[in-house]
Structure 1
Amino acid sequence: MKGIVFTEFLEMVEKKFGIETVDTIIVESNLKSEGAYTSVGTYDFWEMQNLLANLSKQTTIDINSLIHSYGLYFFDSLKNGYPYIFNYYKTAFELIAGIEKHIHVQVRKIYPDAELPYFINHEEDDSKLVIEYQSERAMYAFAQGLMERTLEHYNEKATIKKEFLNDKGTKVLFTLVKNA
Structure 2
Amino acid sequence: MKGIIFNLLEERVEHEGGPAAWDGLLESAEVDGGYSAIGDYPTTELVSLVGARARALDCTEADAVRDFGHGALLSLAEKFPAFFTPHTTTRDFLLTLNDVIHPQVRKLHACARPPEFDFTVIGDDRLRMVYRSERQLCGMAEGMVAGAATHFGQSVEIVQEECVLTGADACVLDCTFRDRDDRAEVGR
TM-score of the alignment, normalized to the shorter chain, above 0.5: yes
3-state SS, counterpart of residue 45 of structure 2: helix
Report the counterpart of residue 103 of structure 1 in structure 2.
101
Q: What one-letter code is carried by the residue in structure 2 that aligns with 1:3?
A: G
- Residues 88 and 46 of structure 1: is their aligned pair in 2 closer, same or farther, counting only changes over 3 Å? same
| RMSD of Structure 2 on Structure 1 (CA) | 2.2
Report the counterpart of residue 24 of structure 1 in structure 2.
24
Question: Which among 103, 114, 135 is matched to residue 116 of structure 1?
Answer: 114
CA distance in 2: counterparts of 1:13 and 1:65, whole angstroms: 15
Report the counterpart of residue 170 of structure 2 in structure 1.
171
Structure 1 segments of 4 or more deviating over 3 A?
Answer: 17-21
CA distance in 1: counterparts of 2:169 and 2:13, whole angstroms: 25
After TM superposition, give the deviation of residue 5 of structure 1 in Å: 0.6
- Residues 158 and 83 of structure 1: is their aligned pair in 2 closer, same or farther, counting only changes over 3 Å? same
Moved more, 112-121 or 10-19: 10-19
Q: Are 1:104 and 1:116, in contact at CA under 8 Å, matched by a contact in 2? A: yes
Between the aligned residues of both structures, percent identity stands at 24
After TM superposition, give the deviation of residue 122 of structure 1 in Å: 2.7
CA distance in 2: counterparts of 1:19 and 1:129, whole angstroms: 39
Report the counterpart of residue 13 of structure 1 in structure 2.
13
Residue correspondences, number: 178
Q: What one-letter code is carried by the residue in structure 2 that aligns with 1:27?
A: E
Question: Which among 119, 135, 138 is matched to residue 137 of structure 1?
Answer: 135
Q: Are 2:131 and 2:172, in contact at CA under 8 Å, matched by a contact in 1? A: yes
1:51-90 matches, cutoff 5 A: 51-90=49-88
Q: Are 1:72 and 1:142, in contact at CA under 8 Å, matched by a contact in 2? A: yes
1:2-53 per-position Cα deviation (integer Å, ceiling 9, x unaligned): 111111112212233454442233124333xx21111121111121122222
Report the counterpart of residue 157 of structure 1 in structure 2.
155
3-state SS, counterpart of residue 88 of structure 1: coil
Q: Are 2:65 and 2:139, in contact at CA under 8 Å, matched by a contact in 1? A: yes
3-state SS, counterpart of residue 85 of structure 2: helix
TM-score, normalised relative to structure 1: 0.86
- Residues 42 and 170 of structure 1: is their aligned pair in 2 closer, same or farther, counting only changes over 3 Å? farther
CA distance in 2: counterparts of 1:12 and 1:117, whole angstroms: 22
Q: What one-letter code is carried by the residue in structure 2 that aligns with 1:90?
A: T
Q: Are 1:137 and 1:170, in contact at CA under 8 Å, matched by a contact in 2? A: no
After TM superposition, give the deviation of residue 108 of structure 1 in Å: 1.0
For structure 2, list consecutive stretches of 5 or more residues without a partner in the other structure.
Answer: 180-188
